[in-house]
Amino acid sequence: MLSKFFVEDHVKSALMEDIGFGDITTESIVTEDKIFEASLVSRVEGIICGLEVFKTVFKILSDKVEVNLIFKDGDKIKKGDILATLKGPGKYLLLGERVALNYIQRMSGIATETHKYQQAIGDLPCKIVDTRKTTPNFRAFEKYSVKIGGGFLHRFNLSDCAMIKDNHIKVAGSVTNAINLVKQNLSHAHKIELECDTIEQIKEALPLGVDIIMLDNMTLEQMKEAVELINHRAIVEASGGVNLDTVRKIAECGVDIISSSAIVAKAPALDIALDM
């Protein structure tokens, strides 16, 4: 998912934003010939993610910085674990510290949160997936983190799948009109997903042949009724009101997919530090 050239271009842009016309603090204190060592240390337990991105930050700044990764993405980590060691000119360690930590803390936080949700549903035949509620221009990193955390991916962007939501239905005039209009323009390679608020909308949609039906903010009783009504004629996705307290109960309704923005949008950054 994260190709080398994509990561390098993104990191370069992040470094330009942070460094600007120079680090006036570091350049006043540290000369380039001063060699330092540092450790990337976890302050909490979780799922580590973004190690190669972390390494790329220092690789771009200077080929004199050596980064030795001790863990790999997806590994479970605990408080006090040394995740990587670094050695090189102190100037570059300090220049890249904040940007490198921003990537790995954010990505590890998402991977850890996703892992919690997937663990909560246990062995039930249901998948936790993300949404498009992501940070602008950081979506690829966030979706990669969901995957590393054991989750699965929804559409990456608007061109991946035709997803008919409530506002589309309002504009089209009805569920039937919305589906028919999309089918007139859709490639054979794309699926159609319909967001349904009511059982009546599901009944209207089923004869028209949609691939995925999303149950939006339905009660547990409504979801059970919907799953029985759909009866494997479409993939059933549940969304809305999903949190760690409700996710297993939703999965027990028999849905195939549970989509949640919380695994990304509400994931706290994992507490990871760079100790010189």
Distance separating alpha carbons of residues 92 and 26, to the nearest angstrom: 9
Catalytic residue, chosen from 97, 193, 195, 256, is 195
Distance separating alpha carbons of residues 272 and 47, to the nearest angstrom: 11
Q: How many Å separate Cα 4 from the centre of its chain?
A: 19
Residues 6+ away with beta carbon under 8 Å from 15: 57, 60, 61, 95, 96, 99
Catalytic residue, chosen from 81, 97, 142, 216, is 216
Active site residue 12: no
Structure tokens belonging to residue 48: 């580590």
Backbone angles phi, psi at 200, to 5 degrees: -60, -40
Distance separating alpha carbons of residues 129 and 106, to the nearest angstrom: 18
Q: DSSP secondary structure string, 215-241?
A: EES--HHHHHHHHHHHTTSSEEEEESS
> Within 13 Å of residue 223, how many CA atoms lie on the same side as its CB?
25
Residue in the structure block whose two tokens are 């549970």: 258
Catalytic residue, chosen from 165, 170, 183, 266, is 165
Catalytic residue, chosen from 98, 183, 249, 266, is 98
Q: Is 36 helix (H, G, I), strand (E, B) or coil?
A: strand
Active site residue 23: no
Query: Judging by DSSP bridges, how do beta strands 127-129 and 257-259 pair with one another?
Result: parallel
Cα first-last separation, the chain: 32
Structure tokens belonging to residue 228: 């029985």
Active site residue 43: no
Active site residue 165: yes
Catalytic residue, chosen from 133, 224, 233, 248, is 133
Q: How many Å separate Cα 93 from the centre of its chain?
A: 28
Active site residue 216: yes
Distance separating alpha carbons of residues 217 and 248, to the nearest angstrom: 15
Query: Could you list the active site residues?
Result: 98, 133, 165, 195, 216
